[in-house]
A and B are shown apart, each in its own frame.
Chain A
């Protein structure tokens, strides 16, 4: 009979703490009961994660008992903060909001934990709150930390009205702001005082500024945001940007960007939104042009194609293109293109990209058009311009385009250059037509 060996308990304490950093904070503490070796390991675990919502969910806490459990959980948080070693923290995550009397809230005793956690100089901070009274959160402590590299801040906090007095984040590389109001001053301060900021994500925010200006920013994501009424345009000046994503931004008008030479990948939604019955244009002329260095592009079309192309690059001069004169940008590096239509599609957009992308290898077409809204001629319109042949184009994938007629498909397969595969996924039917030329 072989004797089973306890190989885990005689690992160095530092490694045991590292292992426990990957289980939940509660389990890490409970491990102190495993054996005497494990008694104090939890005090050195560099990760703390408190999630009251998850806790309620896991323990199936009924609405009536929430207050009671909340009190216990607050004691738990306090207990951990008081009893852990005064060692540096790597990651601190706090996810807390409760729904009581038709209102979301976070108890003050919890918001007060944040500045205490910051004293442990964490590298990563993730805070998810619901704050109706902003004064409780010590926002300055978050924005003046010399250790933070990665910050995820989600709370109803109007940074325009309650901006931090100062910002000093010398090591911040990645900032993600959700459900905040963001003003011009705050953004300017961010640019000045975050010298190594590489990634910025704004999600569900109110945009109260007209310029995003970051010299070394590599990744910019703006989704589900809406603009403040006073702001008319948005200028993006990010010369080092590698990845840009703009989607579902209500009322984001007149977006323009200086030419982003380093841009590799982009996912952009072009849309027109109505505000008080007035149709507002979504992009400045040549916004599409500023994306011309990308290798991979995802275009979401939320508006009429014609208008999109005319405004974006004087497409009506397409006739002249055939003779060589062109105002349109050339997508020299573009290899992968995908187009998602939410409103009427036709071939012009495909023709446009085929013409301007000499090295295109892969196209994916996808639609989310509801049949009630679709025009009766959907997909049947012949392209006004010849579809260019592209020698590197190997794959055209068509997904979910239930309304692409067979005539359109024929046109596509006949006029586009030699492509090997045409995948069509219509509902549950998957056709695979290898075409060998």
Chain B
């Protein structure tokens, strides 16, 4: 169940053995090769927007979780350590997981971001993620008025 790969920074070509339950391995491929939809077969996938570094992380996740259905995953500690990385990497992982349809990785990374958002004031969240508040004070008041039931405390 290996992931032999030829990688270069800009266009990764991954020989992806469709792993049941981890990605569906049936992504659209580059022009010269047709996808083979049988799981277990080799599929060539062109990944123009994923760097080698992120891809390596994705593969690390998949290799650890490939036997989840049979013998359980590597455990919460490993998962927690896996997402203990810079913000930039987390968001790249989210995009990669979404594109490659790896639900487990998508959930793990999104939960990590959500945990960082939870129990924080709006200003703290903006600061943490560098979100620019493009509401004018009047506009913001108007949004609050639209849903008074949500802002009762």
Given known A30-B122, A35-B133, contact A11–B150 (CB-CB < 8 A)? no
Interface presence of A9 (CB below 8 A): yes
- The complex places the Cα of A23 from the Cα of B110 at a distance, in Å, of 10
The answer to whether residues A76 and B118 also contact, given A7-B129, A9-B131 and a CB cut-off of 8 A, is: no
Binary contact track B97-133/A, C-beta < 8 Å → 1, others 0: 0100000001000110111011100100110011111
| A78:B149 contact, CB within 8 angstroms | yes
B147 contacts partner chain A, Cβ-Cβ < 8 Å: yes
- Interface residue stretch chosen among B40-48, B60-68, B86-94: B86-94
Min CB–CB distance B42 → chain A (angstroms): 29
Let me know if A29 and B134 touch, CB within 8 A.
no
Chain A 13-46 interface residues, beta-carbon cutoff 8 Å to B: 15, 18-24, 26-27, 29-36, 38-39
Indicate whether A75 reaches chain B with its CB closer than 8 angstroms. yes
Q: Which residues of A contact B110 (CB under 8 A)?
A: 15, 18-19, 21-22
Query: For the complex, is A1 an interface residue (Cβ under 8 Å from B)?
Result: no
A4 to B143, CA, bound (A): 27
Q: Is the CB of A27 within 8 A of B131?
A: no
**What mask results when residues 43 to 87 of chain B are scored 1 for a CB within 8 Å of chain A, else 0?**
000000000000000000000000000000000000000000001
Q: How far is the CA of A79 from the CA of B95 in the complex (A)?
A: 32
With a CB–CB cut-off of 8 A, which chain A residues contact B94?
11, 15
CB-defined contacts of B133 to chain A, threshold 8 Å: 34-35
Q: Is the CB–CB distance between A34 and B113 below 8 Å? A: no
> By the criterion CB–CB under 8 Å, are A76 and B149 in contact?
yes
Complex interface: chain A residues within 8 A of B87 (CB): 7
**Chain A proximity mask over B133-153: 1 for CB below 8 Å, otherwise 0:** 111000010011001011111
Interface residues of A in 300-315 (CB under 8 A from B): none
The CA-CA distance from A23 to B113 in the complex, in Å, is 10
Q: Which residues of A contact B91 (CB under 8 A)?
A: 7-8, 11
Chain B contact residues: helix, strand, loop or mixed: helix
Give A364-375 as 1s and 0s: 1 = Cβ < 8 Å from B's Cβ atoms. 000000000000
B134 near A8 with CB under 8 A, answer no
Q: Which residue of A lies closest to B98 (CB)?
A: A15
Are A18 and B106 in contact, CB atoms less than 8 angstroms apart?
yes
Does the CB pair B98–A36 fall under 8 Å? Answer: no
Per the bound structure, the CA–CA distance linking A123 and B125 in Å amounts to: 30
Instruction: Report the nearest A residue to B114, measured CB to CB.
Output: A22
Chain A residues positioned under 8 Å from B122 (CB to CB)? 30-31, 33-34
Q: Which of A19, A20, A38 has the most CB of B within 10 A?
A: A19
Tell me if B131 and A32 are in contact (CB < 8 A).
no
Report how far A33 CA is from B106 CA in the complex, Å: 25
Report whether B144 and A4 are in contact in the complex, using a CB–CB cutoff of 8 Å.
no
Chain B residue with minimal CB distance to A3? B130
Q: Is the CB of B106 within 8 A of A79?
A: no
Query: Interface on B for A, CB 8 Å cutoff?
Result: 87-88, 91, 94-95, 98, 106, 110-111, 113-115, 117-119, 122, 125-126, 129-135, 140, 143-144, 147, 149-153
Could you write out 24 A-B pairs with CB less than 8 Å apart?
Answer: A4-B130, A5-B130, A7-B91, A7-B130, A15-B95, A15-B98, A15-B110, A19-B110, A19-B113, A19-B114, A20-B114, A23-B114, A26-B150, A27-B118, A31-B117, A33-B140, A33-B144, A34-B125, A34-B131, A38-B131, A59-B153, A72-B149, A75-B149, A80-B150
- Chain A contacts to B: CB under 8 angstroms: 4-9, 11-12, 15, 18-24, 26-27, 29-36, 38-39, 59, 72, 75-76, 78-80, 83
| Further 6 A-B residue pairs, CB within 8 A, beyond A33-B122, A39-B143 | A6-B129, A9-B129, A23-B117, A27-B119, A75-B149, A76-B150
